[in-house]
Structure 1
Amino acid sequence: MTMTIGEVFDELFGTELPLKVTAYDGSSGGNPAAPYAIELRNERALRYMVTAPGELGLVRAYLMGDLELHGVSPGNPYDFLNLFMTDFQVKRPQLTRLPKIAKSLGIKNFQVPPLPDQEQPPQWRRGLEGLRHSRKRDADAIRYHYDVSNEFYELVLGDSMTYTCACYPTDDATLDEAQANKYDLVCRKLDLQPGQRLLDVGCGWGGMVRHAVEHYGVTALGVTLSRNQATWADQKIKQMGLDDRAEVRYLDYRDVTESDFDAVSSIGLTEHIGVKNYPAYFSFLYSKLRPGGRLLNHCITRPDTKTPALTRGGFINRYVFPDGELTGVGVITSAMQDEGFEVRHLEDLREHYARTCAAWAHRLEEHWDECVQDAGLPIAKIWGLYLAGSSLGFARNNIQLHQVLGQKIGADGVADYPLRPSYV
């Protein structure tokens, strides 16, 4: 006699979880009084979960509409993901039970169904399509994530249109206040002065460029690989009357020809360039600075240097940041030092990024219908999982966010640097 899907669930996960499961065969499992429920609406949902146990199978079935989550906000499933990451562990059934479980699931359910259109190929297949972090693949990866639509980002990011970690000055600061405070912190670390020249690589919608020009009196050039971002930034700069000193170009940072900048800011770009390219990356930025100039590198990091930089096959790699690579801050500081920078200061803002992602998730939840109308239901679902999961990851110290300040020292070793900098 075969087992129902509900019975298989109880065999593998038990009945103590705050989770209930209902299935298309009429069965149920788990805890009937649980606040959350998973509904397998059809056989394909089971096939997704059987052929990719864990997060990837759940995501596939969820995006295709074959699996429904009840008691969960699709725009902000933080509590459900917290449960999933904490308690959702497979029990080890007795070996004698495995044949019955496999028979109950059915041999045809071990065949992979069609994948969602939004899923990127596995890393080995992308390797066949060209060298990772070549100019073409970098541009394709950036377009995949950032060219959803400017309207979608406006709904999620708010007035600042800033898609990087904010820095909250107080517990009750708003998202926009925290983003302005982050830009101000970067400007102070770079010691920007009126009349200086700033290069902002990976500038997004131009938030750093506008802040530095408006509040610190510099002339700033920003570059981005997203045409949508560049178009939006150019319009905003003109609207603010800053176009005499501010410019955003649709350009690969490696194609910037100007040099002798007083400062370079890199806010959220290092994650996309690949660890093996760090030497060339920091060498290029070093060459763009005058002696005494400063670089502020702001990027997501890992809490160690042992974990592989490239996470293969998971949700983030397949659905959010294809080809993205993270490593520990020690690797970044070493690469900067090896290319000539004196590392002056580093700071971990991971708690701030947990708050930032939570704020974005709240905005997605608040504007859910508009986001679905703009980007489509599968993309909106991806963003709900991504933002809530990222907030959880930063809160749990699974990932971090570091700002590293480096300086290009003159040949005589003398640098224009205060004994006690004011930004601390």
Structure 2
Amino acid sequence: MNAPALSGGFELPADRPAPGLLGLAERGLLPDAVIRAGIRRLCATRLKEERDRGVEATAYAFQQGIAQLRASPLAIHTDAANRQHYELPAEFFQRCLGPRLKYSACWYARGDETLAQAESAMLELYGERAELADGQDILELGCGWGSLTLWMAERYPHARITAVSNSRTQRAWIEERCRERGFGHVNVITCDVNRLELAPSAYDRCVSIEMFEHMRNYEVLLARIASWLRPGGALFVHIFCHRTAMYPFETEGEDNWMGRHFFTGGLMPAADTLLWFQDALRLERRWLVDGRHYQRTAEHWLANQDHHRDEIEPLMQATYGPAARLWTQRWRMFWMACAELFGHAGGREWMVAHYRMRRPA
């Protein structure tokens, strides 16, 4: 039985628990410690499979993956990405995320920061690494709930900011915040990136935070971005990744719960993946961010959902109908999966990468 359609008029994925132990976890019948142990086992199994292939086979598989990306559409299953993340009520994310609704890894310089402090710290880091400045024309691709868009609007009152989202819900949210705060220099566009058309050479900067994971053909994507940038303009990308391995989030098989329910069409890139696509934009600087920053972020999200369970219950009922309890637990499992994945091996396997790439002047 499928849950009722969301406001966008589409249906959610299958709303029955999986068989076996996974189904027990989805029904909330297993302790969190057992669920986390299972997630850690899956992480270790994937790493062992990568190691067991050997150096030559691993290198060949990576090159095959790069070739497949070049031959792929720009993005696939974009409707599924909306359904799984971006058309849920803003009220749910208000109760799980931090005050800026930053739906991506935050920055914990000391390790004991509050979520609000860590959100602001990562936004500051973006401004520094992207070399943002007042008066620039700035394009944000995949603006989410507006954490970076609104931060830039505050910080750079003379900048002209264009934010692109594939979600009508997110666009309405950001526009309302702009009206409340008197930000007249922000324009929000709702568009699938596959069909996005913008004026050539119109922007000094393009920034994208955890959107590239939903893309496939980076060659085409980066060429389009280069055409929107002025000569000498720069792209800044924040993307989660694995240290060396690259793989899609599959939707089939017992172990592909994440691909079925939260990242259909998504990709786990390697830290070096974008380095293979420098035809139109040249890499200027890359930073690697310890995965424990994301681990702490996800733990905060989980704690927030648990803390606000009574307020979240009616939101889940309105969204998922009879499957509300199932999806409430799935979201808890999603936060746990993110925490365990990025915290694995002390944050040295799965992590976040920042890139600054520039269009030649």
Could you say which TM-score interval applies, normalised by the shorter chain? 0.7 to 0.9
Structure 1 residue 174, shift from structure 2 partner: 1.4
Q: Decide whether aligned partners of structure 1 residues 284 and 351 sit closer, same or farther in structure 2, where only a CA change above 3 A counts.
A: same
Q: Does 1:303 align with 2:270?
A: no
Q: Decide whether aligned partners of structure 1 residues 132 and 155 sit closer, same or farther in structure 2, where only a CA change above 3 A counts.
A: farther
Residue from 191, 197, 202 that aligns with 2:137: 197
Structure 1 residue 141, shift from structure 2 partner: 2.5
Q: Is contact 2:76–2:265 with CA below 8 Å preserved after alignment?
A: no
Residue from 345, 356, 368 that aligns with 2:297: 356
Give 2:86's aligned amino acid: Y
Structure 1 partner of 2:121 = 181
Query: Partners of 1:137 and 1:87 in 2: how far apart?
Result: 28
Q: Decide whether aligned partners of structure 1 residues 341 and 188 sit closer, same or farther in structure 2, where only a CA change above 3 A counts.
A: same
- Aligned positions of 1:157-236 closer than 5 A: 157-217=97-157, 218-236=159-177
Query: Partners of 1:154 and 1:86 in 2: how far apart?
Result: 29
Instruction: Between the two structures, name the one with larger relative contact order (CA 8 Å, sep ≥ 6).
Output: 2
Structure 2 partner of 1:333 = 275
Q: Decide whether aligned partners of structure 1 residues 81 and 62 sit closer, same or farther in structure 2, where only a CA change above 3 A counts.
A: closer
- Aligned positions of 1:283-322 closer than 5 A: 283-305=223-245, 307-313=246-252, 314-322=256-264
Residue from 339, 362, 369 that aligns with 2:310: 369
Query: Partners of 2:87 and 2:172 in 1: how far apart?
Result: 11
- Aligned positions of 1:375-394 closer than 5 A: 375=316, 376-394=324-342
Query: Partners of 1:256 and 1:206 in 2: how far apart?
Result: 21
Give 2:332's aligned amino acid: G
Q: Which blocks of at least 5 consecutive residues in structure 1 are unaligned?
A: 1-43, 50-57, 89-130, 411-424
Instruction: Return 367-376 or 148-157, whichever deviates more.
Output: 367-376
Q: Is contact 1:342–1:408 with CA below 8 Å preserved after alignment?
A: no
Query: Partners of 1:158 and 1:60 in 2: how far apart?
Result: 30
Q: Is contact 2:81–2:262 with CA below 8 Å preserved after alignment?
A: no
Structure 1 residue 372, shift from structure 2 partner: 2.6
Structure 1 partner of 2:38 = 84
Q: Please report the TM-score for the alignment, with normalisation by the length of structure 2.
A: 0.77
Query: Partners of 1:269 and 1:359 in 2: how far apart?
Result: 21
Q: Is contact 1:271–1:324 with CA below 8 Å preserved after alignment?
A: yes
Runs (4 or more) in structure 1 with deviation over 6 Å come to none
Q: Decide whether aligned partners of structure 1 residues 294 and 171 sit closer, same or farther in structure 2, where only a CA change above 3 A counts.
A: same
Query: Partners of 2:303 and 2:85 in 1: how far apart?
Result: 20
Query: Partners of 1:62 and 1:329 in 2: how far apart?
Result: 32
Structure 1 residue 179, shift from structure 2 partner: 1.1
Query: Who wins on radius of gyration, i.e. which is larger?
Result: 1
Query: Partners of 1:366 and 1:80 in 2: how far apart?
Result: 21
SS at match of 1:177: helix
Alignment length, in residue pairs? Answer: 302
Q: Is contact 1:167–1:349 with CA below 8 Å preserved after alignment?
A: no
Q: Is contact 1:62–1:68 with CA below 8 Å preserved after alignment?
A: yes
- Aligned positions of 1:57-206 closer than 5 A: 58-63=21-26, 65=27, 68-69=29-30, 72=31, 77=32, 79-85=33-39, 137-206=77-146
Structure 1 residue 145, shift from structure 2 partner: 2.2
Residue from 391, 395, 401 that aligns with 2:352: 401
Q: Is contact 2:210–2:238 with CA below 8 Å preserved after alignment?
A: yes
Structure 1 partner of 2:57 = none
Give 2:250's aligned amino acid: T
Q: Is contact 1:296–1:403 with CA below 8 Å preserved after alignment?
A: yes
Structure 1 residue 340, shift from structure 2 partner: 2.9
Structure 1 residue 381, shift from structure 2 partner: 0.5
Query: Partners of 1:352 and 1:359 in 2: how far apart?
Result: 11
Q: Decide whether aligned partners of structure 1 residues 136 and 386 sit closer, same or farther in structure 2, where only a CA change above 3 A counts.
A: closer
Q: Decide whether aligned partners of structure 1 residues 86 and 182 sit closer, same or farther in structure 2, where only a CA change above 3 A counts.
A: closer
Query: Partners of 1:169 and 1:134 in 2: how far apart?
Result: 35
Structure 2 partner of 1:273 = 215
Structure 1 residue 61, shift from structure 2 partner: 4.1
Structure 1 residue 62, shift from structure 2 partner: 4.0
Query: Partners of 1:174 and 1:223 in 2: how far apart?
Result: 29
Q: Is contact 2:137–2:205 with CA below 8 Å preserved after alignment?
A: yes
Query: Partners of 1:270 and 1:48 in 2: how far apart?
Result: 32
Q: Is contact 2:40–2:340 with CA below 8 Å preserved after alignment?
A: no
SS at match of 1:391: helix
Query: Partners of 2:41 and 2:343 in 1: how far apart?
Result: 17
Q: Is contact 2:98–2:119 with CA below 8 Å preserved after alignment?
A: no
Q: Please report the TM-score for the alignment, with normalisation by the length of structure 1.
A: 0.66
Structure 1 residue 162, shift from structure 2 partner: 1.1
Q: Decide whether aligned partners of structure 1 residues 233 and 283 sit closer, same or farther in structure 2, where only a CA change above 3 A counts.
A: same
Instruction: Write out per-residue CA displacement over residues 95-147 of structure 1, whole angstroms, 9 at most, x where no aligned residue.
Output: xxxxxxxxxxxxxxxxxxxxxxxxxxxxxxxxxxxx98677831333233221
